[in-house]
Every structure is written in structure tokens, then in C-alpha cells.
Chains A and B, each alone.
Chain A
């Protein structure tokens, strides 16, 4: 695993722990409002300092302002904060879809509306506060990352993953060349930054063509990188489109690599799956629809789609009936079981007639939910077992995150 952390960071400093009530002001209103308000609130300042960096101004100054920002923000040290939040940097050619991805994933813009987005001319950032605070920034194409007059340190030093967005419907050879330059640059200077490639705008392409271009891009980049002596460097490729769930899945995988708790969560989910005969279990960040962990069985986009739609439904209903479970447990088929805390959010929905396979949702906390696709043999009479095991998982997860 390649993270920014030493392994021991796992236990001492948990991460992005949502503070007791950080979002109370935000969430009762509309969700999109919340995140957009958030981004507008934070972006001027951030842009300011990022742009300052770009203009080669003193870094220290902004650092202090940044620190001040954090000091105001919470009790965590600024350094930890920078490391703790997965920070993503989008790069790519002009009009390749960087802003669209950012807007769709982090600001819940409707995909159809991305048509009207303007060119981005400066570094745009967006944050999404949820269970994990995602930070993303977009590097406009004209600010070449490899240019010597560029303040690399400001941009890359705290970046977790650099995402190269490649428009597959365009002429992508130039993009590949630039991408390789960037990848080599990163590999040489910032080897801890994950490099990911989104082969973007795959919607509307035929299967055959998709596979061919995907293979072609991967092979080409691989060959070029090995020729340049970085063949061992791992580059992940994802086929994405903002019009379906693939972008969320790709983002999930990118984010997961930045989470130090991933092995622990995965092990927990694996255990749960094998004990309760669960086909597939996801830990969803409820707001962003990004899953922070899943069990190790093969993943199918179909499962993810179903689960993410379900999360959507739950979140939507929460928006209606109140974000906090005390205010009403408005779930589709809600079976609120009163356990110790009394406010466990839990719901399930079946999607075939036999009722054998169903989806089970359980809230770990307000912004993290466990969604399981149950397999055959875990019918409702096994509910006691399932509830018990999920309860254990719940506690364990809370321990992992030390909330």
C-alpha cells in the first residue's frame, strides 16, 4: 500500500474524525446548498493562497494563513490535517472534464449541467465535508505541472493522488505524452503521490471501442514508462463517465488508497461477509456516495450501482425527515431495532420476489453507512445473527476511527 503515512499513524491519530457537531448548521438545509456554500466559503481563501504560490510568492505566508485557518477550524494540528484528508489533484488537457468531475462528485452538480461549465483558468478547489473530508483541486492545463517556474511544492507536497483526466473521445495521443511527462516528474520528485488515470467520457462508446482504447492507453503508457525507467511505478487506470456510477467507483478506489484504515476495515468486512453470507458489503460515505471500503470479493459495478442508489434514497429521505435519527427514522422499509443506543439507523429493501436476496443498510454514524448485498441463505430468520455481527462490526469500526 502506498500512503502518505507511516504505518503507525493508523492507531494514534485517527483522521478526519467529524467533530461533535460540525455540520449541524449545514445539513438541515439542503445538501447541495451545504457543500456549495462550503466550497464558496473556503475557496476564495484557498484559491488565494494557491494562486499566490503560483505566482511564486512566499510560501511561508500562506502557510501561516493556512495554519490559522486550521487553528480556527479544530483542535488538530495543521500538519495532521493536511495529511489526514485525502487530497486529490485533477490534471489533464483542456476540456477533458476535470471541472465536471469535480463538480459532479464533490458538489453534486447534475451531469447534464456540466455542459455549461466555463474553462477553468486558475486552480480551483473544492472540499466536501462528510465522514471524510475530501479536498480536491484542479490544475488548469495551461499551468503545466512540469514547468520550472511552478511552485511544485505547494501543489504536490500535500497531494495524496494526482488524477490525470484523459478525454477518450478526443485526440488522446497528446494527452498521453503530457501525462507521461507529468507521471515521470511525479515519480522522480514526489514518489509518494499516487498517479491515477481516468480515461474519461466513455459513455456512448461501443464496448469494443472502449476496450480497445483502454487497452491501447494502458499499454502505451506502460511501455513509455518502462522505457523511461519507471516501469515499476504503478499507475491505475479507470474508465469513467460522469453520466453513470463509474466516476464514483473510480473515485472510491482512488480515495481508498489514501486511507490508512483500509486494511482494517477490509478485514472486518471480510469477516462479516463470511459469517453472515453476505455477497458484498460496502462502507459508504453517505454524503459523497464514495465507498471507503469493501470486502475482498470481486467487485461488480452492478452491485455498487444498486447500493449507491440505495444510499441516495436514504440520504434523500433523511433530507426530508431530518438528518438526525432522533428526529424521525424515515426509511423506506424501516425496521428500527432498539439496541443499546436506541438510535440505530437500519433499513433493508428486497429486490426480488423470493426475498432471499436483499440489501441491508445500517448506519455506523451519521456519515458512514454499511450497505450489504445479502446472498442466499441469509434470510430474515438469521436476522439475530446478522444484527449481532453487524453490531460488533459497528463497534469495531468506531474503534478504528476512534470517534
Chain B
């Protein structure tokens, strides 16, 4: 009977097809009899007729298990409960041989029913005598591998044991080992029979040898069979041996060290081909049915396919990167190619892999799409110990759980079905890429095989859609359109397939196409996917965004009173922004900004006029707005409520309890001298609180003690007045900004706050100066110079989010000296030192207090002073706040956080405090912010300070701070994604400390690196070495003294100019600028550093 007939016949109507085992009714009874009698009456001879039919199927390419209908699931299971190590199949595919430590039997599989046939183990055990009549030795065999002979030796099975013995059994005489082959002296890993001459047996062992045995000798010399050949020369164990499927004398094996070798059994000297295939042990090899290629799988998680037909230096032709160490791999039996011009030749591109013990999954891969498994299943809870293909669709596996399983691979889920077939990604620049693929709902048969068309499983029968999906094709089932597709997709005409069938029927042209032909000559195997790439709609043009981000003016320097200078500054800022927008071609936006600017300026002018009038009227007694809620008071009240509540509260905010405790804490944790906590006399303190005393810019090293928490509530209001009273001059403003900057630097990274407290016992002010030795140790050998100074200079426009903004130093030093400050401690160096210390978690410098509240006088930085009582906008067509809100809303609609941020940061400080938010809203907002700040570790007085300085104005002006915060953080994110770190850093600076969402993530883990002035790279090893790794340039020495240490005290502390980037010893520079009255940079670069 020819195979074509089997195939074409409708399964339902035809009787049992030939490849099925013929029922042997007496077999079972006979087996049972063996068990009891222990010796069969006659050896069961192989059924000649059946084998002949089996042979017509071809040796290598077994056809599909023909009784399988298109939708039948042939899954079958046989549970033994004993750990099974290995499995073998007989030639006809009807029986499986299972081997393990406590199991050794054959199982018959028929129509999804598994039944035990010969239990060799029981037979052996029940046989008390050996064949020679001597008492049988009792030993347990631990079977590592089994093999079932083919052809006329079909009753012989071989079992390899861990002790190094190979035991041959005749299934007919199940009780007796036919022969024991004992030449390997270490574990035998594998045995295999030659498929062409079934008497030849190969065994591979841990001892590094492969031995060839000939079973024909068994008959003559029982029990003492010598190996015919020994192939040695391996220094390590042989893990797997396989005969070539096409060449009867060739075989290949893989070794523990990753070699794969092909040998000719007639040549004992050396291997034909020897390839170092893997770095780790090669666990299994398998010949491709074409006889040329070998797949090797290894613990190094690769499956590689090699061409073993020639001996030349080579790389793997194809490889599959498996997810786990591969312990087992087998080519799937070949199937008909669905390509019309192959004329039904067979092809094989798929293999199955199983992994190490912890990974129970089994994958079927297709080499044509090696990046992803084709199908996947996990039949056991641990990995299968052995597997083999029964036929094209049926996979036999055995596992440690003791189950033999026949699984139908067609029913294993496809991996691609679990995957998303579409995916998209957006680049930070606004490009979007989108890839998608059509998922096939129904799998129509690709190969229009007659059997499918004539099948009864047509539409007339009610079949669930599930089974329709599974309509079996005799051809290449990997070519389903979602996984792989032949492009150009060619419709197969009926005639073509009929022609193919003709050839198929006409002759036994079952040749397997060489793998290379399939893989190399058809580039067209690829999933068909569509891709879209383009600009995201509503996304800003990256160039425009960059340009605007770079150019925008976000804030102007505010003064306390509105004068012409301020107005001009504001006008200029608006003008430049407008021009920038216009130059970007956004005339619409430019126009609206222009209008806002105009209205703002008008408003400011009106306000200035009103202010002037008012000043004349009530110069001496500024009236405090009675209706105005002080947010800080509210916040403090909320805080107090919180601390009373049993809820745990961050320790940093806990009310100041005992001074001694804090002092103790300070001593115990600080390893850095803390020179700044200078006590202030009580008189001083009360004076400051009464607001009678103006902040003294020259005296600002003095620490204003933050009021204690309990006293705070009553004392909130008076300082409020003093803010409005304080007359700031341009002169002290500058130093105050400096103060504030220091403050910011210090706060830039969150650190445990040291409670600043006054020691009441110690009356004497702690005039402890900064211990320079301590701090200098940070700078030792570091900062000689140009390199350092340029690094600081660039740090000013921090181009990296991690980079700290270091304030100008030399300039300030000059200022201070001009102010007649004769303090010993030079501020600039201390600032640098302080940063270093801050990174250690504690910090203090000889600058004034870090409490925002203490330096309340610089509030004008953040908002324009205003008299809330008087609404100057009455009767105006536009109310500025509303205008701003609408504009922001409009900008946000277009997703334009950039413009919104610009508008908010520009205008918000200028708004009048005449349209406060509703009371409820204010309370909610304050609550939110209080919580956030408290969680961030702000002290209560600092929180109050933040409210006073930043949020008070915003809320009073009628803007929702939460909205501003979200706008700014959105813009910040955009800036970061565009890698505009300088602008982002600037934005963070604007947001600090009121809007934590903007800066929060970037405040942590800041590190400072020096930047090499020559190559521009950061000096990674910090200040430990004085050379740059990038260009190995040495740091320049101090331009004044050229010495390692400054001749004028001060040690090695360095300072640098932010303008020219040159620097030197702080003391040397001081000498240069102060005493020697140097105007220019001491290096002679022409920079007016002190100017």
C-alpha cells in the first residue's frame, strides 16, 4: 500500500491504515505467561509483513501518524510513578522502551491508549538463575540510556548503565541479559544502533571513548563480547553519539568540553571533522535528516547548527539562543515542503528543545525565525528527561514524574499567539514607530491537499472553531501567516498541488531537502509586518523646542519696589521671549505673549503709581492686610495637629524636645566640625522677631535662631510685616542673593537636618571658625588650577543633572572685601568645602543659617511686593490672573508645557495679590504641601518659610500651586528627554524649594566631578589624583605662587573664577586681588575676575 493512498483517504471511512501496529491478540497473554514461566516457549519473531510496510515509509522521514484525523488530539499518557530516565522507540513506532533506575519496560501505544507490554525489570527479577544456570547476581541497574535495535535485530534492546556496563536484552527472553558489554570504566551516557546495519552498536562514555560493538558476535560468544573498535582521544566525557542518517559508516558525537566531532568508523586515527562548538558541555547532538548538518545543544544556552559535510574551519551556520541551558534537542521529522517548486520534497527546519531541571518548558523552534520559539508546551512540572519524535506531530517525552507522554504538537500553543503582534515606541524627540502584523483568525490549509478537501470535517459538521484552527496540514505547518510567511505570497493553484501530488504518488521521491537549500536560497521567509514611522501629532518640533528652551527668559531679578529699572528689565525679558517665539515662526503664540506682556506692564505701571502714592501716605505704618491668611500660620497649625495625632511623623519634624538630646545627637553623628551654629543673644532674637531690626547684610553670618515650635504660632505675623518694611538696597540684595544661593546649594541634596539649637548654658558665643585643616583635606592636591576652575565655571551652567551648581566665588570674595568684611573665613572656599561635606550627609558652613525663614528679607526674589488691599484691576477689561490662567490652559491644550512654564514663571511673581483662591482650596493646598514638605524632611520652621516666601504669593494671586508644579515638572521631563540638562537644572532652581515634584528625583545621589579643562571629560577619580584619566594632563599649579601650598596661610584651598575659569589658592588670590590690587586674572588672560 502506498502512502499516498493513506493520506488521501478520508480517515473516517477507511479501515485502519498500515503504519498502525497490527493487533497481536496473543501478545499480551504471552507476556503474562513470560512473567510467570520466566521463559517463553519461543522467541517472538519480528513480523515480517508489518516491517515491510514500515520500510516503505522510508527510514528517515516517517510520515504522519496516519490514523490521526485533522482535528484529533492524539495526546496520550502512561503513568508509572517511577522516575524515567530515557526512552527509545522501536522501528515501527508502535512501542516505547522506558528506562530508569527502577523501571525498564516497553509500552505499546495505540490509538491514544498506552499499555505496558514487557516489563523487563520484573522479568529479570523473577528469574533466579542466569542463562548459564548459575544463580543470578543481584544488582540494581541504573539505566542512563536505552536503544532499540532495528531491522532483523528488532528484538534487541540495549541499556547503558551508570556503572559502565551495557546490557543487551532480547525481548523474547526478557528475563536474561543477552550479553553484558563491560569495557567502559566510567558511566556510559549513550548507546545507539546503526539505522542501516542494525547489528552495529555505538556507545559513548564519560571515560572519553566511543566504542563500536557488533551484535552478530553475540550468537557465537555469549557473555564475552569485545568491542570491535574504540575511538578515543577525548580528554573528557562523550555526552551523545549519533549515527549519520544517510551514511552508514559515519557517526558524530559531542563531548563535555563542547567539541562536536564526526568520525568514520573505519578510521580509528582521527576525526573527519572536529569543531569546537560550545564553551560548555555539549549535551546533545542530532543529525539533520539531510545527513549534512548537525545541531548541537549545550549548557551554554545555544543550539547551533553546523555543516559537517566538509572539514574546514567554520562557524555555526545558524544558531538559536535558548532561554535556558539546553539538555535535549531533536530535529522534528521532515514534512512536505509547501513550496510548489519543491514538488513535495521533504524539508526539516524545526527542532524541539528541552532544558535543565528547573525549566519544564519544551520549545519547538523554527530555524527560519530563530528569535522566537514557534510552539511551546510544558507537560511536566520539571523538565523532561528524554524526548523523541514519534512522527511529524507526535512527540514522546518522559519525565522525572514517571509519566510517559505522547503529545500532539499541533495542540501545543503557538508562542506568537501569546505575543502582541503590534508594538510602538516613541522617541523622546517625538518620533513614533509602530509595527503591526495581522493575526490570522483562522488557519486555512496552505497546502491544498486532497485529503483536507475531501475530508468529512467540513462545514457540514458542527465543529468548534477551536478545532478548525487546528486543521491539520500534511505540509509545513510553520508557514502560518502570523509566524512566517513566504513572500511574495503566491496563491497556489489547484493544478500545481495536484501536480505535486502526482509526483508524490508516482515515485518514492521522499528526498529531504538539504537544510542549506531551505535556509539560504529562500530569503523570503519572514513575517509580514507593516510599519509606520513618523512624527507624533501634537508634538512639538524638537528643533523649535530646543531653541525656545535655550532662549527663554524665565525670570527677572525683582526688586522690592516697582521702578523704571524693573519695568525695563521685565519689558526686555518679555521682548526677548516674544522675538524668540516669533523667530521660531510661531506668530500666534508670539502675539499672545506680546499682549500679556503689554497688559502686565500696564498693570505694573499702575501698581507702581499706587505704590508711590501709598508710600507717601503711610510710610511709617504699613498696614497689614487683615483679611489675608498667612499660609505659614496655617501650615504650622496643620503640622502641630499632625504631631499631636498619634500618627507616626517623620522624626525630623518632631517638635523640639530637649536641647540636650539634640546636642548629644549632634555630637554622636557629626564627624565634621560644625562651626556655624552661632548663638544669638536673646535680645537680638526678640528684636529680629519684632521686626524692628532690619536684616543686616554685613552681619549675615549671624545665625538667626529659628523660633521654637511652640513659640512659633504667636510669632508668625510680626515678621510678616518686616518683610514689607525691609528696604533693600541693590547692594545688600546682591549679597542676599548670594546667601540664598548658598542656601540652595546646601539644600540641593536632601540631608539629615541638624537641629540648630542654642546651647543655653554656654553663654559665650561659639566663635569656632571653620577648621581649615579638616576641610582642606578634601581639597588636598585637588584643585590646583585651571582644570578645577574651568570645571567650576562650567558647573555654573550645570550641564548635567547630577552636577551641582557652584556659585561664583572669586567675585563674591571681592565683594565681601569691598564691604569691609574681615572675617577670617573666606566664604568662597568654604562653599566648595561645604558641598563636599554635604555629600557626606552633614554640613555647615560659615554662612548664615539655612533656615529660609531666618533670611526672610529676600522674599522679594520670588514675588513682587504688593499691597493686597487695593485691587488695581477693577474695571479693567482683563484681569491678569484670569488672562494668565486662560493662556496657560490654552497652551496646555496643545501640550505645550514650555510656553506655559514660561508664562507662569514670568508673570506669577508679578501678579497682584488681589484674587486669592477660595478658602477651602487654600486649605487643601496647604495641607498637601505641608505633608509633602514634612515627608521630605523639612523642619517645621522651614516649611513655614517656604510658604511665606513662595506659595503665599502664588495662592494670594489666585494661582493653584499644584497646577504650576505639574506644568513645571512636565516641562522638566521634556527637557530631560531632550537632554537639555542645563535648562533643566535652571528650571529646578526656579522650582526649588516650593515645587518638590520638579526637583525631587534629581536631588538625590548628586556627585561632583571635576572636569578636565583640556579634554573636557569629568575626572572620575575625583580629587585623589591630580591628573586627568582622559588626557593625563596634570592640574596646573596656582598662578600666583606656583607652589603646592599657598605661602600665605590657607593651605591648599583653591578658588577659581567663574568667568575665565582660572583659579589658584584662595589665599594667593586674596593677596592678589586685595593687597596687590590686581584687576585682572593673575594668569593674565585679561578677565576682570574681581570686577
- Using a CB–CB distance below 8 Å, which chain A residues touch chain B? 1-2, 194, 210-211, 214-215, 218-219, 222-223, 226, 231-237, 239, 253, 257, 263, 266-267, 270-271, 274, 279, 296, 298-300, 375-376
Contact = CB atoms under 8 A, between A and B. Distances in A.
B270 A226 contact: yes
Interface string B272-283: 001110010101
B812 interface: no
Contact of A279 (B187, B237, B315, B357): B357
B236 A236 contact: yes
A215 B206 CA distance: 23
B233 A234 contact: yes
B186 A263 contact: yes
B1005 to A, nearest CB: 25
Most chain B CB inside 10 Å of its own CB: which residue of A211, A226, A270 = A270
Contacts of A266: 186-187, 206
B187 A270 contact: yes
A263 B234 contact: no
Contact of B234 (A194, A234, A274, A279): A234
A300 B270 contact: no
Contacts of A214: 276, 279
B189 A232 contact: no
Nearest to B281: A298
Nearest to A236: B235
Contacts, number: 85
A210 B276 CA distance: 13
Contacts of A279: 357
Given A214-B279, A236-B257, A296-B206, A219 B313 contact: yes
Contact of B275 (A1, A219, A233, A257): A219
Instruction: Give chain B's interface residue range (CB within 8 Å of chain A).
Output: 35 or more
Most chain B CB inside 10 Å of its own CB: which residue of A253, A296, A298, A299 = A298
Given A232-B269, A296-B189, A270 B162 contact: yes
B800 interface: no
A239 B300 CA distance: 13
Contact of A263 (B185, B315, B382): B185
A215 B276 contact: yes
Given A257-B235, A274-B101, A219 B276 contact: yes
Given A2-B235, A296-B206, A271 B142 contact: yes
Nearest to B274: A222
B186 A267 contact: yes
A203 to B, nearest CB: 15
Contacts of B142: 270-271, 274
Contacts of A232: 233, 269-270
Contact of B162 (A211, A222, A274, A300): A274
B279 A210 contact: yes
B137 to A, nearest CB: 16
Nearest to A235: B235
Given A214-B276, A267-B164, A300 B186 contact: no
B235 A298 contact: no
Nearest to B312: A223
Nearest to B271: A231
Nearest to B257: A236
B325 interface: yes
The 3 closest A-B pairs by CB, nearest first: A218-B276, A234-B235, A296-B187
A296 B276 contact: no
B294 to A, nearest CB: 16
Interface string B101-112: 100000000000
B916 interface: no
A100 B189 CA distance: 37
B163 A267 contact: yes
Contacts of A222: 274, 276
Given A267-B164, A274-B162, A296-B186, A223 B313 contact: yes
B540 to A, nearest CB: 39
A271 B269 CA distance: 34
B865 interface: no
A299 B187 CA distance: 15
A222 B299 CA distance: 22
A230 to B, nearest CB: 10
A298 B185 contact: no
A234 B276 CA distance: 13
A1 B235 CA distance: 7
B361 interface: no
Contacts of A263: 164, 185-186, 207
B327 interface: yes
A222 B273 CA distance: 11
A194 B235 contact: yes
Contacts of A233: 233
B163 to A, nearest CB: 6
A237 B259 CA distance: 11
B945 interface: no
A251 to B, nearest CB: 15
Nearest to B162: A270
A215 B299 CA distance: 16
A298 B275 contact: no
